[in-house]
Structure 1
């Protein structure tokens, strides 16, 4: 697939920088709103929850800009130790800690003057898709949730890693846990066949295309080796049964980075979860030519939720009864 980063430069928006404290760190956040939005306007909002090596705008800016163009306020944030956020050690990942940070980010978003706190959608991609499952199961007051190429089963993701590479990562991870001081780092993304946490599904090409689109930004392509030891035990698909809000799940049938566990999703059978499968790998959804299709599914879902909320109670009872 000939990938291109989607061009959303035509979207007129305003950026509002802020910070919030989570897990003892000062976290950076950016709220994007339509340029012509009034300061006293309460907008429906979307909280963007990034993935494994995510920082603000990393592969998400096209979605963010497109949601703003559709009339939403959209907030991105950096996890502690990543991007513009404080916190040490740098570049470490603990999924349960990240979920708590995302929960604090949600509270921060609700408090923003231009946000309608009762009209918030959670949006998660890759590893962040798992965090959104966790949050959605804990927040029945949230309007809806969207997850794409979600990492739902850390055990399946771990077992998808080539054995020799997995052994090397596990060994370095153990040494990182045992040694004092500065972490042992390993590449987050790598070229095919080279050592890193993600070398499949044209991961390196995805990073290069994104960096070319950023131009003015660098990316710290490292993750603390100890992070890999959390992966097998993080299995958010087990919380799918507890999701009480409308959720759109888009899985990629060719995903070898975070294999889409469609069998487990079907086994849960939660009627609140709408599942769409696309013929793609883990990184294709962020780029043209697949991006417009992914965005169309998500905008249609958001409209569907809005229409459903606006229907009279009697009509809803008749439809569900």
Structure 2
């Protein structure tokens, strides 16, 4: 698959880097789908596989690393700022539509996990978007934290957040927290066993630049993020939501509740398996085909 290394300006003048996959089997300018990844992830973690499927269907595809992660610039490193990230999603759209091979009137956005929430936000507030796919989405920071942080850890977590604020205020370096851990009782951003197994395997096989750490402040910022509250504003942009029926990382009940608030046109697919099954094997085939068909229907028709 031919692809082009790209870079564009993000928020705060940071340079963001990624790949552009040209649409196959077309000589005219084609629609574009902008893709971004989940919490702490880098583009090598199967974003390229989704982009290749879309390109084969005659859609340009643009993937990139979030600011502070992977090949993109930005500091503090390994810090997730959801507002910064969804604004950079919009900057990626702006870059894409300036390209001569892109039809600026036909833009799609695809996001998975944490960026599944970004896709909802961007589609709601940026009407350049004409189709959206939100896969195993993060829809409520407060809802997820209530489910993922054990009750006996809440006081310790609050103390850690307060201590980190004081430490940074005094000029100290950000406190770091593991993204995943082999011990499900230990503190981590995603303590689920399936998260540890997926990140360990995927980083070893294809993403050696992924780092198993995030700033403690990332947890605080993510907990304040409520992209699902914008979902009713997406219409009339067509929405496809893909939910994993056994998702313990971004609890599927939250996604189902959010979907009920969305307006037509909308479609939901509930797949078997957990949060990470969409990135390989039969789960990838099902999810990528559904997303491809959604974008082809609404962007190429």
Q: TM-score, normalised by structure 1?
A: 0.84
Match of 1:313 in 2: none
Q: Does 1:91 align with 2:78?
A: yes
For the residue of structure 2 that corresponds to 1:117, the secondary structure is strand
Deviates more, 1:249-258 or 1:272-281: 272-281
Structure 2 counterparts to residues 9-28 of structure 1, below 5 A: 12-28=1-17
Cα distance in 2 for partners of 1:306, 1:204 equals 36
Deviates more, 1:118-127 or 1:158-167: 158-167
Cα distance in 1 for partners of 2:223, 2:70 equals 25
Structure 2 counterparts to residues 203-214 of structure 1, below 5 A: 203-214=195-206
Please give the root-mean-square deviation of Cα atoms over the aligned residues, in Å.
2.1
Cα distance in 1 for partners of 2:271, 2:100 equals 37
Q: Does 1:151 align with 2:138?
A: yes
Q: Does 1:183 align with 2:141?
A: no
Q: TM-score, normalised by structure 2?
A: 0.90
Cα distance in 2 for partners of 1:140, 1:111 equals 16
Aligned length: 294
Match of 2:285 in 1: 292
Deviates more, 1:105-114 or 1:124-133: 105-114
Cα distance in 2 for partners of 1:191, 1:273 equals 38
Cα distance in 2 for partners of 1:252, 1:35 equals 30
Q: How far 1:77 moved relative to its partner?
A: 1.5
What is the aligned counterpart of 1:73 among 54, 60, 65? Answer: 60
Runs of 4+, deviation exceeding 6 Å? none
1:207-256 CA distance string (max 9 Å, x none): 233224317x3311110001111233211111111012001001112111
Q: How far 1:280 moved relative to its partner?
A: 2.0
What is the aligned counterpart of 1:163 among 151, 155, 158? Answer: 151
Q: How far 1:99 moved relative to its partner?
A: 1.2
Contact 1:42-1:115 within 8 A present in 2 as well: yes
Counterparts in 2 of 1:71 and 1:192: CA distance versus 1, 3 Å:
farther
Contact 2:181-2:196 within 8 A present in 1 as well: yes
Match of 1:270 in 2: 263
Q: How far 1:37 moved relative to its partner?
A: 6.5
User: Tell me, which stretches of 5 or more residues in structure 1 are unaligned?
Assistant: 1-11, 311-321
For the residue of structure 1 that corresponds to 2:52, the secondary structure is helix
Structure 2 counterparts to residues 225-304 of structure 1, below 5 A: 225-244=216-235, 245-260=237-252, 261-304=254-297
Counterparts in 2 of 1:167 and 1:115: CA distance versus 1, 3 Å:
farther
Counterparts in 2 of 1:16 and 1:219: CA distance versus 1, 3 Å:
closer
Give the greater-gyration-radius structure (CA). 1
For the residue of structure 2 that corresponds to 1:75, the secondary structure is strand
Choose between structure 1 and 2: higher helix proportion: 2
1:179-203 CA distance string (max 9 Å, x none): 1231111111222413311121511
